[in-house]
Chain A
């Protein structure tokens, strides 16, 4: 129930929504999935005749599932249309390429949520359960 409520509150839509499903969410972390549709626009240019998911998009998937979903959940009822969110730092290692039609799972652990700043340790794995990327992401989420 909490999973769907959190999804419904996300401030994104196509073509920039990168969360399909939240598998688990609690005050300490979140686990969610996203499948990369082969028709996504960026595959036409990254790279020409050789589609590979760009690192910035993997970062965005990690941030939307690992940070924004968790932030929305943590703020609960105080998250509304006047809440501002922003990415403030990322430190990510990319270990394996992600190709069109792959489904990834993001697992995020809260490091802290203080003074409006949420910082998480985030891991992305593919369907073979191999680590695709991992790192630390932080953002500010402020309810006015």
Chain B
């Protein structure tokens, strides 16, 4: 029973962190977006370039701001994959796990 409760609260925390990460990501990308509607309706599937119309030069700034915010280093290979909110979250999670 106790185990079950722990499991449930653990899941809840994980989910809240995900929502929290989306809020943090939104704050980071806001200065660079050119499509407000897509930004307001942002989901994990949102594409930085196709949907939010962030240009590729500014995508570099997004990645550098993410590095600073989470105190992680993003390599060229990860940068190339970082095209959607979902991909960005996966890379943040991966780099944080590698760091800890």
Contact = CB atoms under 8 A, between A and B. Distances in A.
Are A and B interaction partners?
Answer: yes
A114 B60 contact: yes
Interface residues of A, number: 10
Given A116-B60, A140-B57, 10 more contacts: A112-B64, A114-B60, A115-B60, A115-B76, A115-B79, A117-B57, A117-B60, A117-B61, A139-B57, A140-B56
A88 B64 contact: no
Contacts of A88: 55, 57-58
A88 B79 CA distance: 18
A89 interface: yes
A138 interface: yes
Interface of B: 55-58, 60-61, 63-64, 76, 79
Nearest to B56: A140
Given A115-B76, A115-B79, A89 B57 contact: yes
B64 A114 contact: yes
Contacts of B58: 88
20 contacts: A88-B55, A88-B57, A88-B58, A89-B57, A112-B64, A114-B60, A114-B63, A114-B64, A115-B60, A115-B63, A115-B76, A115-B79, A116-B60, A117-B57, A117-B60, A117-B61, A138-B57, A139-B57, A140-B56, A140-B57
